[in-house]
Amino acid sequence: MSRLRIFDEAWPEAPTETLTDHAAISTALAKVGVRFERWAASQPISPGASQDEVVAAYRADIDRLMAAGGYQSVDVISLAPDHPDRAALRAKFLSEHRHSEDEVRFFVAGSGQFTLHLDSGVYDVLCEQGDLIGVPAGTRHWFDMSESPYFVAIRLFTNKDGWVAQFTGEDIATRFPRMAPQAGPAQTA
């Protein structure tokens, strides 16, 4: 289930508000300029699928997004709990950073946690399969996939070089809750 927790940046121990209704999450994020939509992630994709497989399965959605947003490139990030570089990849995204372009992600399997630092608020967004999030250029944020990642996300860029981060050097991300591992099909008991 998708979730939004809103924190005061000075009080990471407890959120001031928690939302789980998708429409309420979308409305709350729209108020701070963040796009959050529910899309049909109906193709049978699992972590480990190749980029070509994922792009082919979602070509119509990708083409529509690229045309609407002027995006120039697309890639896929796909991680399963047994990925040999999962710890290094997690560490790469966990520090607060920003981008010179919008960051758009469509989760076609699994889940990931975007945490946005907006003024004195911290918006912790658990994105699930079918969620599309668009983080505006210049927004301070970080991303967590948990110690046991299970997700596939299509990433769209206006920059042909793809993902380019400008790290802030702030340690705020270390003070807020990390993502708890989510049960994927191979992880259920």
The pLDDT of residue 183 is: 62
Distance of CA 110 to the CA centre of its chain: 11
| pLDDT tier at 189, thresholds 50, 70, 90 | very low
Bridge partners, 109 (sequence order): 152
Per-residue pLDDT reduced to its tens digit, 40-74 = 878 888 888 889 999 999 999 899 989 988 888 89
The pLDDT of residue 38 is: 92
The pLDDT of residue 101 is: 86
Measured distance CA(63)–CA(69) in Å, rounded:
10
Per-residue pLDDT reduced to its tens digit, 150-163 = 999 999 988 666 56
Q: Hey, what amino acid is at 16?
A: T
Q: Domains in the chain, start-ordered, CATH in brackets?
A: 35-112+126-171 (2.60.120.10)
| pLDDT tier at 188, thresholds 50, 70, 90 | very low
Question: Over 50: is that where the pLDDT of 186 sits?
Answer: no
Measured distance CA(143)–CA(139) in Å, rounded:
12
**In 3-state terms, what secondary structure has residue 33?**
coil
The pLDDT of residue 157 is: 83
| pLDDT tier at 12, thresholds 50, 70, 90 | very high
The pLDDT of residue 163 is: 65
Question: Over 70: is that where the pLDDT of 173 sits?
Answer: yes
How close are the terminal C-alpha atoms of the chain, in Å? 18
The pLDDT of residue 166 is: 86
Per-residue pLDDT reduced to its tens digit, 128-143 = 999 999 999 999 999 9
Question: Over 60: is that where the pLDDT of 187 sits?
Answer: no
